[in-house]
Structure 1
Amino acid sequence: MRIFSNICICPPIPEGVQLMTQSTKFKLSLRSNTLLVKLIVSFLIVILLLAAFNVFSFLYLRNKLYDEIVRSNELGIEQTVESYENHFRLTQSMILSLTQSDRWIANIGILSEVSQNRRYDKMNEVKEELSELYNNPFLHFDNFILYFKKAGFVLEKEGTSSTKDMFSSYYASEAYPPGFWDTLTDDNFFMRILPAASFTEKSMNSIRSLGMQMPIVIKAAPHDDVLCIIMVNPRKLYSAYANTGEPFYMLDQEGRLLFATHDTVDIRTPAAIGEGKQFERSGGNYYFYERGSDTGFTYVRVAPITNISSEMLKLNMLLVTLLAAAILISVLSSVWFSLRLNHPLKRIIDMLELKQTQPLPASNIKEFAIISDRMSSMMHTNERIRMDLDRKNNLVRQYAYTNKVKNIPMNLNLKELEDAVQQHGPYAAVLYEIGFKNKDSEYDQEIQLLRKLVHGLFATPEGEEPVTLQIEHNQLMTILFNPGSQSDVLRVLNLLKELLQAEDYMCLTIALSPVYSEDTHFTVAYERLRQLLKAKRLTGETQIIIEPRSLSSSTTSLGLKVGQREELLARLQSGSEEAVFEWVDRHLDQLVKKDAAALDFQAYARGVAEQTEKALAKLNAWEQADAASRPDMNSLEALYSAEQYRQWFRELIRPALAAIRERTETKDPITSFVTDYLNSHLNEDINLDLVADKLNITPGYLSSYFKEKTGTNFSDYLNDLRINRAKELLLNLELRIQDVAGQVGYHNVNSFIRMFKRYSGITPGEYRKRNVGGHT
């Protein structure tokens, strides 16, 4: 390692001598044969030539380049406006041609009175006509919604649903509440483009974002109470017509914002259009305006001044020709001056590469003459420094090995240490994961003692020195060079295991690699050892792992299966400790019998905890559960026996079961009537208004009361009840899926399939395939 290669250690110089030396150097620097004067004169000539050509070119071309860039932005916004206007014009023409069809007018009239005429077959005809529009990739329609105000339902690509469910659950937006769409039927218009807003799809368990949507509302003439609501993806329109990467926004005729690509851009009213201008400058941006001829919308492209400046630099190609002449002259001048300096410098470099100590020949440049006098002593000094650093770099060498194992880029100041970590022959690696049974104590000193013990066991006088690194706070790694065979290393590790048997507070897991060739990187060996550590078992003793576990003897770490989750959830909701703990202990014993890895026990524990949380959430029993008494999920890594897991499950489940029992034991007459009525009339057309009328209370009061008592909405409870009943019926292979849908109150099989997938995550057919085998 060569560091401080240019340091020269000299004896102190008296103050008077220093003043005389400084005065002499100053006089020498003013002479024409000094290196300083030659360099200053040479590069001043080059700089002056380049500066002159640059100033002249910039003054000549600045205004011309600016005008070209502005014109380019104006043409860009004109093309964008034309594309947007054509798209809106095409949309209006296609909808107009559709609404003027006699078949369309007749079908819309039938669907407006579908609750009386029961002509549900017309819905598929209308959906087929709509699919031709939203399946057209050039229109960028995400959905086409037919809103029947008087009938109180909507028809879209997924099927039919009530107006409330559609605009509060399936297409919910704070900007457009459900009541907003009712007001549009009272206005006199044919087509209206509304500002873009974010829409989400809400279900009982999750909220899914539908992204940014720009609604286009068209009246389905001659039916004024029917609206065509087209959900257009504005970001797809932007990508197709105006994707320049710069901020862009649209304003309607009243100056309201319709869509903006960047939230941080300053939205300005286009005052410049009235003055006959198409752009203006404000703050750090240029605003380029253009108004649509058909819609009257104002389209604005915002170009930051920094971008225009960068474009000016890109367009400044004419400067290349002028600069080439200046560079050519400058290079010729530089080469001429450099040749005069090259000869003495070359002799100095040759002496450094050959490590000669003889003095250099005399030079006519004063600086080189001084260098020649000092070079020999500097070479001797640097050699002593290098030898001293080679003896003291052990700590830095450890740092370099750690970086090599973890594939961390080396600091540029320590690049010389790359040679110290190169493999020269076969090697083996051992990774130790240290666990302590008492987590309340600190064991930093024990870890360092273990490191010394490991290093001492593998260090032999005749062998190459091993390297022992602390990879993590609880991990050590030993790299053995030319270790012999794997069995030789294993004998030493067995000796280490015997020595640690007396230490009951420590639980060590050791992963041993095979003997690698020098072509295998340390990082690869480290990652394979980490994978071996995943095969650790719950023994509470020191383990040595030399190969991964076979798939036939290990369990998967995917947690509980679908059927297991449902069975456990049902037992938890029953509130019976005996039933729950019998199930938990039985599956825990199965893991013990299979000799599962510690990771499998942790996955099982997390699955049980997840179902416990789900049971509390379903019954809205969070307040009754004591959160402080629940065990910490992070403590699973410290468990080293099945009995500890058994105790951990007791601490987790007992408070939850107590809260569930407290919640379920409280009986309420209104809630009991609702649940009993739903269970006995599940195949009928049930809604909140019907049940509230039977109780002689208002639907709003029943909705809030039922939510308070059960912790779930009326509609979510009804859908969940229907889906659970459908799961039972699907196990009967004699029933068709449409028969199951009718028995649970879904008279439209498409609506049933969509609702089943929303609450179960899979379709009815997939559920039957997965679960029918256990019931046939």
Structure 2
Amino acid sequence: MDRSSANDAVNQLVKRVREIRENEMLYLHDIIIQYEQDSFLIHQGGPDRLDTLYAQTYHSEPYDADFWRKQFGLRYKLKVYPQADFYNSQNNRAGGFVPLVLKSTTNEDIYIAALLDSDKMFKAFSSVSNAQFHIIDEDGTSVFRSNPRLPLHLPLPDELDGSRDFIKSDNQYLFLRKGDVTGLSYVLVIPNEKIASQMSRINLVLLLLLAVALVVSITLSVVVSIRFYTPIQNIIRTIQRDSPQTMQQHAIGKIDELHFIEENVKQFLKTRNDIGRDMRRQQSQLAHLGYIRKLKSIYTRPNELSLAEQPFYLILFHLTTTRRFRELLTAEQDKAANYIKEFISISLAETFPESVTLQVEKDQILALLFTDNDVQDVWRAVERLRQVFDRDKEYCYLTLAFEPHVHSPGSFTHAYEETVEMVKRRKLSPDTQIITSLGPEPLYVGFAPAQEQELYANLQAGQAERVILLTNRVLQRMDKEGATAEQHVSFAKETIAKTVKMMVAANVEIGDVLDHRSPYEELKQCIDADDYRQLLERFLGDAARRIADKNEEKDPVTEFVLDTIRNRYNEDLSLEMIADSLGLTPSYVSRYVKEKTGSNFSDCLNEVRIKKAKQLLRTSNVQVRDIATRVGYVNVTSFIRMFKKVTGMTPSDYRKAGNTEEAGE
């Protein structure tokens, strides 16, 4: 890793430490990542040295630099040390902190120390006044004391073991909790008179509540007996008040009370059944929502949604539409997509009545088959669906991904993510494909570094035939390696992006290329390898011709600059020399060349020099130092750095790669 990458890594780590520290719920003052090598460490203030940090920023007598250095030789996973006061470089108290050390079981050369702000934690969680709070480790040493004047060792009675949570000792109560992970004991000591006073107040409140309850119950009894002396009359009044339209069906006068109540009870039951059906429909929708939230790993409160907890098969249908499908109106496309989902749901429900079918994405349909039947039943259902969808290949084709074994209820999200990855293994074909295992992903081919340079050179020269020939070679190799459909899409997007970048550098107008007939939109219509080949041939040929046309536009100033670079690249050439030859200012020439070529003067000069150097590396055995001198570099280090920046490898590596490529050809 070079120095720049190392600095970036350190900055990212410092940023992450600061983000964690800003979480007020953690009560962290600082996180220190300590390396044994060179006593190097990283904390919220950035990189530092062990001796400097604990002598200036966090000075504490119990925890000096030697203490932290000795931690590398101790064997433990997690340890909490007693609270101590820490002071800064001005000898001002930074706070009372509890050191917590976490060590790796695989790498003994590094550990993480966290300084917990004990003062803030105690203020946040302490709810009992006049009480003493202790945190004691397994050796009986006090890790934290609410009152610093309390003794460091708190003797615990023998009766206060794991079988009892509290005891009364002398004139105080001791409450104990022990942590399962850290082994720390948390002891709260409350004076007896404090608890006694609280109990007296509670008894008084309970007596008052009892008295109020008696008064209220007597009052309610009297009111109820007065108001409900005739239950039937009150029921009728309620019906008349809540359903005045019911009274219009009866003549004014005497009402058959029982018949009247019967009719209304029947109406209430009918309304209840209607509400029940509506609630069941909404419950089904909520269940679907629950499954989708589970798929997306969205947090759901316990018991918020009731989902099936039983073994299941999971089938993911990935829909790929054709040009004919996309020519339909938007409303018709939505209707057709819904029909496909409903057809899958009905077909699977015939064999698996408890199955659930979800539209998780616009092009993804998920089926959950809750059953412990033999997998052959699933295969038969999948085969029936394939036969149907094979008839509609002119509109769409499907990829069915499922693992032919039952999943446990707890593996719901993992099973979905696995099938999503399986879909990405689809090969280029318009047929319905069934994928049953993830398997290794084919090696992505793409452009090799030398091929990428060749692509740029041919594009820059406007050589359409060479660009197309190079791209077709890569596509043929991808077909030979069995590349997936997704890898073809990635390669096509990468090639288009590189070409657009080159067109911009050549000052070619790309508005017509991307707006009128966007290659990215045409990618969505590619089904097989020939489609990708035709698309890239058409796009690359058009781009190369546009660049060639642009190259034919001669410009005297630009031509003079480029010709001078090509003819005198091996000299100590500078922008000032060329500008003086033209009778222009260097700044004007620099802006002019940048505007016309898309590159500044130094980039043009380095491009020619590196191109000549590559030629010498391929065709001769001249030493790298001599090649640097021949192409105009005074310092061989500058030459190597620039060569690696342009080609992605050192001159020696390039020479080896060139010899290997020639031997392969």
Q: Which residue does 1:435 correspond to in 2?
A: 320
Are residue 404 (structure 1) and residue 309 (structure 2) matched?
A: no
State the alpha-carbon separation in 2 of the partners of residues 746 and 421 from structure 1: 72
- Equivalence map 1:340-379=2 (5 Å): 364=214, 366-367=216-217
Structure 1 SS opposite 2:399: strand
Structure 2 SS opposite 1:509: strand
State the alpha-carbon separation in 1 of the partners of residues 201 and 357 from structure 2: 54
2:130 maps to which of 321, 331, 334: 321
1:492 maps to which of 371, 381, 394: 381
Structure 2 SS opposite 1:731: helix
- Equivalence map 1:81-480=2 (5 Å): 320-321=129-130, 328=195, 331-337=198-204, 364=214, 366-367=216-217, 393-410=283-300, 415-418=303-306, 420-423=307-310, 426-437=311-322, 438-441=325-328, 442=330, 443-460=333-350, 465-480=354-369
2:411 maps to which of 497, 504, 521: 521
State the alpha-carbon separation in 1 of the partners of residues 600 and 368 from structure 2: 62
Q: CA deviation at 1:599?
A: 0.7
Q: CA deviation at 1:526?
A: 0.2
Give the partner amino acid of 1:399.
L
Q: Provide, for residues 516-558 of structure 1, a one-character-per-residue CA deviation record: whole Å limited to 9, x for no partner.
A: 342551101100100110012222232211123555xx341x6
Q: Provide, for residues 340-394 of structure 1, a one-character-per-residue CA deviation record: whole Å limited to 9, x for no partner.
A: 69999xxxxxxxxxxxxxxxxxx846449969x99xxxxxx9xx99x95985533
CA contact (8 A) 1:433 1:474 kept: yes
* TM-score, length of structure 1 as denominator length: 0.50
CA contact (8 A) 1:682 1:743 kept: no
Q: CA deviation at 1:738?
A: 0.9
Q: CA deviation at 1:720?
A: 1.9
CA contact (8 A) 1:671 1:706 kept: yes
CA contact (8 A) 1:483 1:489 kept: no
State the alpha-carbon separation in 2 of the partners of residues 480 and 316 from structure 1: 48
Q: Provide, for residues 195-240 of structure 1, a one-character-per-residue CA deviation record: whole Å limited to 9, x for no partner.
A: xxxxxxxxxxxxxxxxxxxxxxxxxxxxxxxxxxxxxxx9779x97
Q: CA deviation at 1:665?
A: 0.9
CA contact (8 A) 2:449 2:648 kept: no
State the alpha-carbon separation in 2 of the partners of residues 549 and 694 from structure 1: 64
Q: CA deviation at 1:594?
A: 4.3
Q: Which residue does 2:654 correspond to in 1?
A: 767
Q: Provide, for residues 421-454 of structure 1, a one-character-per-residue CA deviation record: whole Å limited to 9, x for no partner.
A: 322xx32110011222132433222233223322
State the alpha-carbon separation in 2 of the partners of residues 760 and 718 from structure 1: 15
Structure 2 SS opposite 1:470: strand
State the alpha-carbon separation in 2 of the partners of residues 625 and 434 from structure 1: 31
Q: CA deviation at 1:327?
A: 6.7
Are residue 751 (structure 1) and residue 618 (structure 2) matched?
A: no
Q: Which residue does 2:615 correspond to in 1?
A: 728
CA contact (8 A) 2:628 2:636 kept: yes
CA contact (8 A) 1:726 1:740 kept: yes
State the alpha-carbon separation in 1 of the partners of residues 609 and 218 from structure 2: 96
- Residue 560 and residue 365 in structure 1: after superposition, are their counterparts in 2 closer, same or farther (change >3 A)? farther
**Structure 1: which 5+ residue stretches go unaligned?**
1-136, 141-233, 245-291, 293-309, 345-362, 375-380
**Structure 2: which 5+ residue stretches go unaligned?**
1-6, 11-44, 59-89, 91-118, 133-189, 226-267
State the alpha-carbon separation in 2 of the partners of residues 760 and 329 from structure 1: 82
State the alpha-carbon separation in 1 of the partners of residues 353 and 288 from structure 2: 15
Structure 1 SS opposite 2:357: strand
Tell me which stretches of 4 or more aligned residues in structure 1 moved more than 6 Å.
234-237, 239-244, 310-313, 315-319, 322-327, 341-344, 368-371
- Residue 630 and residue 559 in structure 1: after superposition, are their counterparts in 2 closer, same or farther (change >3 A)? farther
1:506 maps to which of 383, 386, 396: 396
Q: CA deviation at 1:630?
A: 4.7
1:662 maps to which of 546, 549, 555: 549
Q: Provide, for residues 544-599 of structure 1, a one-character-per-residue CA deviation record: whole Å limited to 9, x for no partner.
A: 11123555xx341x642212212222222222333323333343344345443111
Q: CA deviation at 1:638?
A: 4.3
1:539 maps to which of 429, 440, 443: 429
2:604 maps to which of 709, 717, 731: 717
Are residue 597 (structure 1) and residue 464 (structure 2) matched?
A: no
Give the partner amino acid of 1:601.
H
**What's the % identity of the aligned pairs?**
30
- Structure of greater relative contact order (alpha carbons < 8 Å, 6+ residues apart): 1
Q: CA deviation at 1:411?
A: 5.3
Q: CA deviation at 1:661?
A: 1.4
Deviates more, 1:524-533 or 1:396-405: 396-405
Q: CA deviation at 1:760?
A: 3.3
- Residue 723 and residue 317 in structure 1: after superposition, are their counterparts in 2 closer, same or farther (change >3 A)? same
Q: CA deviation at 1:512?
A: 1.5
Q: Provide, for residues 319-357 of structure 1, a one-character-per-residue CA deviation record: whole Å limited to 9, x for no partner.
A: 94399889746631354257669999xxxxxxxxxxxxx
* TM-score, length of structure 2 as denominator length: 0.58
Q: Provide, for residues 271-327 of structure 1, a one-character-per-residue CA deviation record: whole Å limited to 9, x for no partner.
A: xxxxxxxxxxxxxxxxxxxxx9xxxxxxxxxxxxxxxxx989959999943998897
Structure 2 SS opposite 1:435: strand
Give the partner amino acid of 1:617.
V
- Residue 485 and residue 327 in structure 1: after superposition, are their counterparts in 2 closer, same or farther (change >3 A)? same
State the alpha-carbon separation in 2 of the partners of residues 657 and 488 from structure 1: 55
Structure 1 SS opposite 2:391: coil
Q: Provide, for residues 57-90 of structure 1, a one-character-per-residue CA deviation record: whole Å limited to 9, x for no partner.
A: xxxxxxxxxxxxxxxxxxxxxxxxxxxxxxxxxx
CA contact (8 A) 1:631 1:651 kept: no
CA contact (8 A) 1:572 1:612 kept: yes
Q: Provide, for residues 469-504 of structure 1, a one-character-per-residue CA deviation record: whole Å limited to 9, x for no partner.
A: 111122111111225333331221111111122223
Give the partner amino acid of 1:496.
L
CA contact (8 A) 2:519 2:535 kept: no
State the alpha-carbon separation in 2 of the partners of residues 403 and 716 from structure 1: 52
Give the partner amino acid of 1:454.
I
State the alpha-carbon separation in 2 of the partners of residues 710 and 512 from structure 1: 53
Give the partner amino acid of 2:552.
E
CA contact (8 A) 1:511 1:529 kept: yes
Give the partner amino acid of 2:130.
T
Give the partner amino acid of 2:398.
L
State the alpha-carbon separation in 1 of the partners of residues 587 and 337 from structure 2: 65
CA contact (8 A) 2:505 2:598 kept: yes
Q: Which residue does 1:674 correspond to in 2?
A: 561
CA contact (8 A) 2:341 2:357 kept: yes
Q: Which residue does 1:118 correspond to in 2?
A: none
Q: CA deviation at 1:633?
A: 2.3
State the alpha-carbon separation in 1 of the partners of residues 440 and 127 from structure 2: 70
CA contact (8 A) 2:500 2:510 kept: no
State the alpha-carbon separation in 2 of the partners of residues 681 and 317 from structure 1: 80
Q: Which residue does 2:74 correspond to in 1?
A: none
Structure 2 SS opposite 1:652: helix
Alignment coverage as a number of residue pairs: 445
State the alpha-carbon separation in 1 of the partners of residues 218 and 647 from structure 2: 85
- Residue 322 and residue 519 in structure 1: after superposition, are their counterparts in 2 closer, same or farther (change >3 A)? closer
State the alpha-carbon separation in 1 of the partners of residues 385 and 642 from structure 2: 61
Give the partner amino acid of 2:338.
Q
Q: CA deviation at 1:611?
A: 2.3
CA contact (8 A) 1:483 1:515 kept: no
